[in-house]
Structure 1
Amino acid sequence: MAMLVEDGLLDVGATVLGPASTVEEALSMIETATSDGGLAAAVLDLNLGGCSVLPVADKLASLGVPFVIATGCGEGCDTGGHTEAPLLHKPFDLGRLTSAVQELL
């Protein structure tokens, strides 16, 4: 699934960093990207390697980086208070994801 998302984002002209398979890896990627000029936007799955991705969402929010949340959770899932982030419920159309990312920019 991550490869399909990456391909879809590349098709609309995005530069893709990742995917990350753990929260620690995602946080490390953010730190590296921040020192290399920053991030424009991100796509987060709420469950990353069996762990909540909310620490990653918190870090992105603190840096002012907008993000889309993709999730297999039903309505009312815990987004850690990140109500400003667009929420896409799986399965979603790749066009909806790329549109959501483009709207963030």
Structure 2
Amino acid sequence: MAGALAAKILPKPRILIVEDEPFILLTLEDMLSDLGCEVAASATRISEALEFIGNRPIDGALLDVNLGDQKIDPVADRLAAIGCPFVFTTGYGRSGVPHTHMERGVLQKPFRMDDLARVLRDEFKFIA
């Protein structure tokens, strides 16, 4: 009973999604909701993500490595500077991950619900 009560009282983890592909973005939003997380914001551009990070609290982020012709490096650097956990999403494996953040987790596209749940558990420690 106490565990169930604590689960109801604890706030949902707030996740920032930075993704420029609409289908993947919608899929992530739905999956995160199903896994008990709140989507704090969805950004499709580096400038949007940086503005959000500077103005709102988040508990973690999922970062597409490439947003069109923009690299995700400035967003990853900002999140690392404030100690916010993040994971890269990419279809290219570790080859596209910024060199300064090679130790971060990678969610390989295409992914399934259990892949995302594993990332939330192992990288963010959000779910059991």
* TM-score under structure 2 length normalisation: 0.71
Q: Give 5+ residue unaligned stretches, structure 2.
A: 1-23
Structure ranking higher in strand proportion: 2
Residue identity opposite 1:15 in structure 2: E
Q: Give 5+ residue unaligned stretches, structure 1.
A: none
1:61-92, Cα deviation, whole Å (9 max, x unpaired): 00000111001224433323212311122112
1:99 aligned residue? 118
Would you say 1:39 and 2:62 are equivalent positions? no
2:84 aligned residue? 65
Distance (Å, rounded) in 1 between the aligned partners of 2:41 and 2:59? 14
Alignment RMSD: 1.5
* TM-score under structure 1 length normalisation: 0.85
SS in 1 for 2:88: strand
Residue identity opposite 2:117 in structure 1: T
Please point out which of 17, 41, 46 is paired with 2:40.
17
Would you say 1:79 and 2:102 are equivalent positions? no
Say if 2:50 and 2:75, in contact at 8 Å, map to a contact too.
yes
